[in-house]
Amino acid sequence: MVKGWAIIGVTLIHSWVLADSRWMTFLFYHSVPVFLVLFGLNSEGWFERHEGKHRLQRWYGRGFRRILIPAWASCLAWWAIVIILRPPEEMVRLKLTLPFWHLIGWFKQIGTSWFITLILQLFAIFPLFFAFRRKFGWTALLFTASAITLPITMFPLDVKGVLGDAGWLIFAPRFAIHVAFGMWLAARVDRIGPRSVVLAVLVLLPLYAIEDRLILPEWWRVADRFLEMPLSVVLLAGMAALSRIASIEKPLSWLGQHSWGLYLGQMLTHNAFLYRFGGGCNLYGCSEGIFERWNLWIYSGVLLAGSIAFVWFGNWLVEQNEQLRRKGWALPSLAD
C-alpha cells in the first residue's frame, strides 16, 4: 500500500499539480526516496527467503525480467513517440551513441528516466549491501551508509559541479542510507506499533522544521534526505491501519504491485504530452506549455490513465509470451 501511495506521489510530482505547496514539500516530494526504503526492505526479505548457491543467479535473473526488459520495452516505445511527434532539438537531441546508452541502462534524453538508471545500479550492488550486513552487522551497515550519504547530501552543489544535474540524479550513493534503513526495517516491520509511530513523529517534526528553514537553515538539505526514514515508518503504520478499509486497501495494493510498470507508463505519457503540447521540467519544477494551458488535475488523471494502459498492455504481452511458450516456442519466461 505504501508503494501505491508513492506512485500517486510521483504522479503529482510530474503533473506539478500541487507545485510548491506544503503537501508537496512535506509529503509527496519524498515519494521516490520512500520507494528506495521499500526497495531495501523488500530486497532484504527476498535474500533472507532465498538461500543457496544459485541465489545471485536468481536475483539477477529476476531483475532482468522485472526491471530491465520492461525498461527496454518502454525505451522502444519512446523512440516510436520521438519518430512520430518529432520534438524540437532543445527537448531531444538524437545522437549515434544514444542507443548504446539506452542498451546499458542509461536512458538519456528520456524525461524522468533517471530513476530507472538509479534503481538498476542499486539492484546491481544490493548483494554487496547484504553481504556487508551479514559480515559486519546492522550498526556497521547503517553507519557506513550514513557516512556515504551525509557528505553527498551536505555538499550537493560540489557533486553537481563534477557530475552535472543529470549525473547527480542518477548518482546512487546519495541514497545508500535509504536502502540500508529499509534493510534494517525488514526484520522489524511487523512490530511497528504506536510507540514506534510516536518516536518516528518526534524525530520527523524537527526534521520538517529544518527542511522548512525554521531552524538551522544551512542544514536543510541533510534533513531533506534523512526525514524519509521516519516518514516511511509513519506511512507503513498508517497504511497498515487503513488496510482494514477495502475501498482504500484494494486500489493502493494494486497500484503498489504494479508500481514499476506504472512508473514506466507515466514516463512515456509525460514525455509524449510535453513533446506534443510543450512545457518542461527540471530539478526545480515545471513551467510553460502544458503546465500553463491545462488544468493540472486533468493532466494528473491523464498521467495515471497512461500508466494503467501501459501496465495492461505489458501484462497482455507477458501472457501472449507465456502462451507461445506453452505451445513449444523457445522463448524466455517473462512471468514472475
Q: Using the predicted structure, report yes or no on whether residue 317 has a pLDDT greater than 80.
A: yes
**Tell me, what amino acid is at 70?**
P
Give the CA count within 13 Å in the CB-facing half-sphere of 146. Answer: 12
215 pLDDT tier (thresholds 50, 70, 90): low
pLDDT of residue 173: 94
Residue partners of 178: CB distance under 8 A and separation at least 6: 33, 36, 37, 39, 40, 149, 225, 228, 229
At 36-81, the pLDDT tens digits run: 999 999 999 999 999 888 899 999 999 998 999 999 999 999 999 9
Looking up cell 526504503 gives 37
Q: In angstroms, rounded to a whole number, what is the distance separating the alpha carbons of residues 42 and 55?
A: 15
| CA separation for the pair 3, 260 (Å, rounded) | 10
Averaged pLDDT for residues 240-265? 92
Higher pLDDT, 134 or 89: 134
Alpha carbons 336 and 334: distance in angstroms, whole number: 7
Q: What is the mean pLDDT of residues 202-207?
A: 84
Predicted TM-score (pTM) of this structure: 0.92
Nearest to 11 by CA among 310, 313, 301, 238: 301
* Region of residue 183 (left: phi > 0; alpha: psi -120 to 50; beta: else): alpha
Strands 285-287, 280-282: pairing kind: antiparallel
Query: What is the model's pLDDT at position 214?
Result: 55
Comparison of pLDDT for 196 and 272, the residue scoring more: 272
Q: What is the mean pLDDT of the chain?
A: 89
Q: Please give the pLDDT value at position 155.
A: 82
Write phi, then psi, for 264 (nearest 5 degrees).
-65, -40
> Which position has the higher pLDDT, 212 or 234?
234
Range with the poorest average pLDDT among 133-147, 231-245, 249-263:
231-245
Q: What would the pLDDT profile of 105-130 be if each residue is shown by its tens digit?
A: 999 999 899 999 999 999 999 999 99
Burial call 250-266: b when 16+ CB within 10 Å, e when fewer: eebeebbebbbbbbbbb
As a whole-number percent, the residues of the chain with pLDDT over 90 amount to: 59
Residue 255 CA neighbour count, 13 Å, CB half: 22
Quick one: pLDDT at residue 285?
Answer: 80
Q: With bands split at pLDDT 50, 70 and 90, how would you rate the model's confidence at 165?
A: confident
* pLDDT over 70, % of the chain: 96
30 sits in the region (left: phi over 0; alpha: psi -120 to 50; else beta) called alpha
pLDDT for 21 equals 83
> Would you state the pLDDT for residue 318?
87
Contact in structure between 44 and 188 (CB atoms under 8 Å) = no
- Give the three-state DSSP class for 155: coil
> For residue 321, what pLDDT band results from cuts at 50, 70 and 90?
confident
Average pLDDT over residues 153-181: 90
